[in-house]
Amino acid sequence: MSTSMAGRHFVNVKDLSPEELARVLDSAAKVKRQPAEFRQKLAGKTLAMIFQKPSLRTRVSFEAGMTQMGGHAIYLAPTDISLGKRETTEDIAMVLSRMADLIMARVFGHDIVEDLAKHSRVPVINGLSDHEHPCQTLADLQTIIERRGRLAGQRFVYCGDGNNVAHSLMYGGALTGMHVTIVTPKGYEPNAAVLEESRQLGRQSGAEITVTNDLESGVRGADVIYTDVWASMGQEAEAEARKKIFMPYQVNARVMSLTKSDCTVLHCLPAHYNEEITYDVTRLPGSAIFDQAENRLHAQKALMLHLAGAL
């Protein structure tokens, strides 16, 4: 029996049950097909958007999404709030949740978004933290369904740093029955606790979650291949050193020759062409990176509709 997601927080992908995740993805597809049907669904609602990190896709997708559904979004830049410096995270959550209907936060520390959720009386959405990027995963899963028809049983391979994106994808695969392989250099594997928890969730859905340092065996036969920048925001000092370590894991024509002939290519952007991925691969017929970027809009609209109790 389905339950409402109204009033809930979305801090981690695993905050949704498999059934709830499927409902959000179904809603995302409908929102994309029939946007006019949702034009006034969030009329009079306000989304407060907290940013510690700059963004193209996160800001535009959330702001445009609220506007397209009749609501309003307020952009709060790092200097507007200075989380934890000018004012405590607890106080910010308590004030904003008396004025806004939803709060989205794109932050460095995962503890910040957890604290916001703890003290807010309205839904808090993790727009990105150093530990997870759950909204990106919603768009990723929507894109895979569009390109491949289903999630369960697909062989999904992520090449690169075992970062926040990898963590959310592991949870997403585990909840949907999609097999996820993380291919990464030694010492850059995803968080061990996330791996174990994903594997436990995967036992219920039939998903296999694996981690390997072997590129060729890891990517062979992939239905979907995904990569991300090698140095995330806050890791700029490591960028040059990381290039040398990660270059053997670049997604290029040779790597693509090991995947299935109709393999779908994903990248959450921004891309550093000819580093983690070559430009030519991003322009292959199987590349869905710009569909994936667009789907941030549709998936997040669906998420906000559910959390606001409008669906």
Active site amino acids: 106, 133, 136, 228, 268, 296
Judged on CB neighbours under 10 Å (0-12, 13-18, 19+), 43 is exposed
**Taking Cα atoms as reference points, which of 161, 130, 157, 158 lies closest to residue 243?**
161
- What is the number of residues in the chain? 311
Specify the residue for token string 């992908």: 13
Contact 282, 255 (CB under 8 A): no
70-73 CB contacts, 8 Å cutoff, 24+ apart = 70/39, 70/40, 70/41, 70/42, 70/43, 70/44, 70/45, 71/42, 71/43, 71/44, 71/45, 71/46, 71/47, 71/101, 72/45, 72/46, 72/47, 73/46, 73/47, 73/48, 73/49
> Residues with Cβ < 8 Å from 261, sequence gap 6 or more?
none
